[in-house]
Amino acid sequence: MTDSEIPDVLTLVAAARGVYRDDPAAQSVLGALEERLREPLRVAVAGIVKAGKSTLLNALLGERIAPTDAGECTRVVTWYRYADVPSITVHPHGARAQQIPVRRTAGRLVLDLGRYAAEDVDHIEVHWPSRMLRTLTLIDTPGIASLSQDLSARSLALLTPEESPSSADAILYLIRHLHASDLKFLEAFRDTAAGTAQTVNALAVLSRADEIGSGRIDSLLSARRVAERYERDGMLSSLALGVMPVAGLLAEGARTLRESEFASFRTLAQLERAEREPMLVSADRFVNTAHALPEASRRELLDRFGIFGVRLATSLIRGGADDSSVLAEQLVAQSGLNELVATVRMHFRSRAPALKARAVCDALTQLIAEKPRPSTDEIEAGIEKIQVGAHGLRELALLGRIRTGDVTLPPALVREAERIIGGEGDDASLRLGLPPDADGDALRARLDDRLDHWRAVSASPLVMRDGVQAARTVVRSLERIASEIGCRGADATDVVTAGGPGDGPAEGAQQQRQKHEAALQHQRRSQQGALWTGGRELDHDQVQQQLHQERRQLPPSDTRAAAHE
Ligand SMILES: Nc1nc2c(ncn2[C@@H]2O[C@H](COP(=O)(O)OP(=O)(O)O)[C@@H](O)[C@H]2O)c(=O)[nH]1
Ligand SMILES: [Mg+2]
């Protein structure tokens, strides 16, 4: 499902160009905004120093391009953009941009700043023919709350500028152990880039996941449990859409696995158990045990894969991974990288137009505030219209509220709402909970059914206000699917009517709802996830029945009033 905000925003930028035709500085800001609408979504990778940001970036790119560990370059914000031909450009403060040669040693790209110190450089741009970059521009950032105040300041300035909208549309925030500064940073990002009232466009990554279980073979399971705990944690879950455990080093190693490394792993796998197991007990043991595999190779394997990766690769080969590409695939699958990419795609890429449109609208608003002109009313009205109408953004906001447990609906409905607004993927069949090969008739039948259902929910006086809002967003998503596949739901019409006159209680829907809201709020605090149901979860049909019963007790006029409220 795509959003159509981009052409509208481009029209507004063009109008602004007219208004500011005598202002070269404004023209250049507007030019950059047009560019931003055309280019891929910008995703920044952020987190404290040594969180594994550059390693993860390499894993995503499938090449060792971003410098890891020490070096001047790791202290500079670096943009990775798609181009057919590789190139590297240094952008110094207050001086002309300069290309530097593209060189690789030992499989790594060399980023040499030459005569510049990191402090002198504003940012570096690396253009690279990587498939991932066709749809995402990735931004590597120096560590937040890092050794040097200055570096932190630079990353913060990029990601959470105080006056201008953030340069990044979305963010992957790497955490190792949840840290107060992580929360502070995520809060700042949410409050600038995404707007306080909106949900975050941040995804948290529990990085270096192999270290969480001390490199034991079940480390990633432990990491998954920790991630789930973080996800449930009130603070973090209100700041990020989810927490994904990823073993970045393993993923980077796997995606750049060399034949010689596979051969070394195979040598280890072929050892007798009595010899192999003691050797793999710890990184120290692995390096210090005399063995046919030269020490240098062992050190390199450790560097590239960590002790966890060495153990896992050995055991996968013993389990049948009999060539390097099979092993690489299995290692990547275990690393959590695939899930991360799928989640990024689902949350960010499919909403790219809406996220970009929002960023550009914010920038336009700011430009107009800074340089007021008498003739900007129409542009401002246009911005407001886009902001109100951008359904992709509303879906994202609702997704965030669902993830933070902030939607007062029965659990079964919350789960369905999450799916319909694209929480599991963007496909019409996925959103409707049907198999991918479901035919048009099946889609239409399901759609009609769910539209009736969700319109009823949105009109029910028993649903609290936030639930009504959520239900309306769901209805709108369904209507959009309907207009895509062409069926009756596309002409969204009136709300579901209630039972006949005289069969309801004397109080109006609005009063009823207020009472219910108070009662439910209380219930929700003590017993989240068990609304209406006395602790039982109802399936969809039961909820439908219950809604019908409740509606029958209300006079029709009140129901309508509540639904339109
Ligand atoms: N064991 C392990 N080490 C990692 C992982 N990711 C990064 N590292 C190591 O942590 C160090 C810092 O990584 P780097 O990517 O440069 O971190 P950055 O400062 O956040 O960019 C390097 O020595 C990496 O090899 C991981 O997933 N597992
Ligand atoms: Mg780095």
Q: Which amino acid is at 197?
A: A
Question: How confident is the model over 51-77, as pLDDT tens digits?
Answer: 899 999 999 999 999 888 766 677 888
Q: What is the pLDDT of residues 441-464, one digit of tens each?
A: 999 999 999 999 999 999 988 888
DSSP per-residue codes, 337-387:
HHHHHHHHIIIIITTHHHHHHHHHHHHHHHHHHHS--TT-HHHHHHHHHHH
Q: Name the residue with the closest Cα to ligand 1, atom 12.
A: 50
The whole-number pLDDT of residue 461 equals 85
pLDDT at 521: 41
**Tokens 């990775």 identify what position?**
80
pLDDT at site 196 = 35
Q: Answer whether residue 300 shows pLDDT above 80.
A: yes
pLDDT digits (tens, 9 = 90+) for 16-43: 999 999 999 999 999 999 988 888 988 8
Residues 6+ apart with CB under 8 A from 413: 457, 540, 543
540 pLDDT higher than 50:
no
Answer for the pair 87, 42: CB distance below 8 angstroms, yes or no.
no
Which candidate, 150, 68, 146, places its Cα nearest to that of 111? 68
Question: Which amino acid would we find at residue 192?
Answer: T
pLDDT tens digits along 322-371: 999 999 999 999 999 999 998 888 778 777 888 788 888 888 998 999 99
User: Which pLDDT score is estimated for 144?
Assistant: 62
What is the helix (H) or strand (E) element at residue 504, kind and residue range? none
45 CA to centre of ligand 2 in angstroms: 9
Ligand 1 atom with the smallest distance to the CA of 207 is: 27
Partners of 104 in the beta sheet?
A: 109
pLDDT of residue 395: 85
- Over residues 458-485, mean pLDDT: 90
Residues contacting 446, CB < 8 A, separation 6+? 432, 433, 434, 438
Residue 260 backbone dihedrals phi, psi, to 5 degrees: -65, -35
Whole-number Å distance, alpha carbon 108 to ligand 1 midpoint, is 15
Q: Which amino acid is present at 208?
A: R
CA 303 to ligand 2 center in whole angstroms? 16
Q: What tokens appear for 209 in the block?
A: 């996941």
What is the mean predicted confidence (pLDDT) over 525-536?
Answer: 30
The pLDDT of residue 360: 87
Range name among 105-114, 175-184, 381-390, 447-456 with the lowest pLDDT average: 175-184
Long-range contacts of 84-89 (CB under 8 A, 24+ apart): 84/129, 85/127, 85/129, 86/126, 86/127, 86/128, 86/129, 87/126, 87/127, 88/124, 88/125, 88/126, 88/127, 89/124, 89/125, 89/127
Residue 154 pLDDT level (bands cut at 50, 70, 90): low
Phi, psi of 143 (to 5 degrees): -60, 140
Q: Ligand 1 mean position to 311 CA, how many Å?
A: 18
Structural tokens at position 534: 């006395």
Of all protein residues, whose CA lies closest to atom 19 belonging to ligand 1? Answer: 50
Ligand that comes closest to the CA of residue 77: 2
Q: Quote the pLDDT of residue 194.
A: 38
At the topology level, CATH places domain 40-247+338-350 in Rossmann fold (3.40.50)
For residue 498, pLDDT beyond 80: no
Residue 250: CB partners within 8 Å, gap ≥ 6?
Answer: 210, 305, 306, 308, 309, 312, 331, 334, 335
Whole-number Å distance, alpha carbon 148 to ligand 2 midpoint, is 14
pLDDT tens string 275-289: 999 999 889 999 988
Is residue 119 very low, low, confident or very high in pLDDT (cuts 50, 70, 90)? Answer: confident
The confidence score (pLDDT) of residue 535 equals 29
List, as ranges, residues with CB under 5 A of the ion ligand 2: 53-54, 74
Of the ranges 97-111, 247-261, 396-410, the best mean pLDDT one: 247-261
Residues 6 or more apart in contact with residue 31 via CB below 8 angstroms: none
Mean pLDDT of 147-155: 51
Q: Is the pLDDT of residue 228 over 60?
A: yes
pLDDT category of residue 560 using cuts at 50, 70 and 90 = very low
Counting atoms of ligand 1 from 1, which one is nearest the CA of 247?
Answer: 27
Q: How many Å lie between the centroid of ligand 2 and the Cα of residue 193?
A: 22
pLDDT of residue 441: 92
Whole-number Å distance, alpha carbon 41 to ligand 1 midpoint, is 25
Q: Residue 104's pLDDT is what?
A: 85
Lowest mean pLDDT among 7-21, 201-215, 325-339, 500-514: 500-514
CA of 248 to the centre of ligand 2 (A): 12
pLDDT at 408: 86
Which residue's CA is the nearest one to ligand 1's atom 26? 208
Mutational pocket test of ligand 1: of 45, 50, 55, the residue with most ligand atoms within 8 Å of the beta carbon: 55
Q: Could you give the CA distance from residue 400 to residue 408 in angstroms, rounded to a whole number?
A: 14
Per-residue pLDDT, 235: 58
Residues 387, 350, 80, 250: is their CA dihedral positive or negative? positive
User: Does residue 504 carry a pLDDT above 90?
Assistant: no
Q: Ligand 1 atom 23: the closest Cα is on which residue?
A: 69
Q: Return the CA Rg of the chain.
A: 27
Which residue's alpha carbon is nearest to atom 16 within ligand 1? 68
Given this model, what pLDDT does residue 231 score? Answer: 74
The per-residue pLDDT of the chain, averaged, comes to: 78
User: Given pLDDT bands bounded at 50, 70 and 90, which one contains residue 155?
Assistant: low
Q: Which ligand is nearest to the CA of 174?
A: 1
- Annotated domain spans of the chain: 1-39+351-406, 40-247+338-350, 256-335, 410-564
- The pLDDT of residue 542 is 47
* 406 pLDDT above the threshold of 90: no
Q: Is 229 helix (H, G, I), strand (E, B) or coil?
A: helix
- Which protein residues are within 6 Å of ligand 1, measured from CB? 47, 49-55, 68-69, 74, 143, 208, 210-211, 247-249, 306
